[in-house]
Amino acid sequence: MEKWVQAFLLHLENKNFSPNTVKSYRADLREFTDYTKKRKVNDLKFFTSAVIRSFLASLPKEDARNTVLRKIAALRSFAAYLMRQGELARNPFKLLPAPKRQKLLPKFLTQEEVERLLGTAANSHLAARDKALFELMYSSGLRRSEITGLKIKDVDFFNGLVKVFGKGSKERLVPVTDEALKALKNYLSCRVNPAPEDALFLNNRGTPLTGDGLAYIFKNTAISAHLARRVTPHSLRHSFATHLLNNGCDLRSLQEMLGHKSLAATQVYTHVSLDKLKSVYQSAHPKNKEN
């Protein structure tokens, strides 16, 4: 089964699936093949609904529902690939119901927490880089892979924009705050002979910053900022979207900036703080206007 898993992953890479998707599918399929090897059912003829059910039942109970759904998606895509290759006679997922996805509200930081995070980043041992990194992420709401994929030439300092290659290699332009542009200029002035084709952000060894490296920076900065909650690169993306909506940004514009394919994906950010709800209610309800 392993050779077909490798062929499938290569197929995904050739189809320009995002590196994060390929990485997740690789881990999920490795977990499945490890399970089948232990039970000596590591042949494609055992890639059946019964074996898949048994594998899913063996997953740790603490696995979140959406994590299980991702594993199912990986196996479902693998099965579809095998059927196209003529290696499977029937779809093992045809009669296998999938649990519904949990609708979790995005975890976001308050504006005060964001300011603490940005201030802490500015005091790190690589202050110029970290200040630019955090300012850019909060001002643009970019994904982790989008940030690490940026080149210096992708920043338009004159127009205040950054060119981003998002999911499916789709290109979009996202506005950037003056504060972020100022921090980026300061950071680049510390670099030795930066060229347009160079990665925008480098690690402490002078090589392009990776997604794992970015997550590590966020973790340590959040600890130094004494934030009570877990902070990830996606936390700033959620905060960016929530704060824009709370301050009057429309959904269509936010959808474009976030790079969402559908408006439904953006609508999850329509949750607002309780204080905001109270403020809107008090200013809009006719009974309140009478007082």
Rounded alpha-carbon distances, angstroms, from residue 52 to 64, 85, 223: 18, 20, 40
Place of tokens 């039942």: 57
* DSSP H or E run through 55: helix 49-58
Residue 25 a catalytic site member: no
From the list 70, 129, 238, 260, the catalytic residue is: 260
Exactly one of 143, 144, 238, 243 is catalytic; name it. 143
Active-site residue flag, 269:
yes
User: What span, in angstroms and rounded, lies between the C-alpha atoms of 150 and 202?
Assistant: 11
Dihedral angle of Cα 162, 139, 252, 237, to the nearest 10 degrees: 110
CA angle, corner 258, sides to 252 and 264, nearest 5?
55
**Which listed residue (116, 237, 238, 243) is catalytic?**
237
Of 151, 167, 172, 219, catalytic: 167
To the query of whether residue 167 is one of the catalytic residues in this protein, the response is yes
Active site residue 143: yes
Are the CB atoms for 18 and 145 separated by under 8 Å?
yes
Q: Smallest Cα–Cα separation from 271: which of 102, 104, 64?
A: 104
φ, ψ of residue 131 in degrees (nearest 5): -60, -45
Count the Cβ atoms, other than its own, within 10 Å of residue 243: 19
Known active-site residue 237: yes
Residues annotated catalytic, as ranges: 143, 167, 234, 237, 260, 269
